[in-house]
Every structure is written in structure tokens, then in C-alpha cells.
Amino acid sequence: MACSWDEMYKKAVEYYNDNGNLLVPQTYVCKDGASLGKWISRQRMIKKGSAKGILNSYKIELLDSIGMDWDPNMTAWDKGYEELEELEENIPSMSLFKKLSVGVNKK
């Protein structure tokens, strides 16, 4: 199903309103058959410069306004790192190395 950018943006807004984020699985398809997951992924790729297409500053602002995460892998990595730092703060007697080696030694 081919939809215009504006139509897909409206679907992204609906997804955001229903889910509170735009972490749309790449395989996600709307009830009408529109591949929202692929569209969101493509917008990220266009902005990054790894795909052809036009994504002007107005469209970027629109997507930003509904919580677009332009690099969800980095966001997930940052969140995991912050959780690890918090864990280290809560267990001051254990260094990062000790925590990691405990998990390795159990295997």
C-alpha cells in the first residue's frame, strides 16, 4: 500500500498516541496494510544519510514533536549503561570488573 508522507505521518501520530512512543517494530503493519514500521525505519535512514529521500527540517520537527527516536539502538545502549552505573552506585563494594566476573564465573 503506497501512502503519501503526510498519510504515514498521521499513522505515526496514531501509533504514538496509542503507545506513547515511536519505537515501532520494523515489521509493524497498520490495520489498513500500511507498513508503518518500515516507513519509520526509512525516515531514520534518510536522516542518517544511508537511504535516498528527502526529509526536510519541517518533517524532522514534525517527527520530533511526537517523540521520534532517531537512533533507538544508541538509546537502548545508553539506558543499559545508565542502569549499570546506577547498580554500581547502589553496590559500592563491588567494582564493575567484580560484577562482570561474578556472572562469568557462574557459567
pLDDT for residue 107:
46
Query: Per-residue pLDDT tens for 18-46?
Result: 999 999 999 999 999 999 999 999 999 99
pLDDT for residue 94:
56
* Residue that wins the pLDDT comparison between 88 and 52: 52
Whether pTM exceeds 0.75? no
> Do residues 37 and 24 lie in contact, with contact meaning Cβ atoms separated by under 8 Å?
yes
- Rounded (10°) angle between helices 5-19 and 36-48: 110
Q: Which of 63, 48, 90 is nearest to 5 (CA)?
A: 63
Q: Residue 85, Cα to own-chain centre: how many angstroms?
A: 22
How far apart (Å, rounded) are the C-alpha atoms in residues 82 and 74?
12
With 70 as the cut, is the pLDDT of residue 104 above it? no
**Side chain identity, residue 40:** I
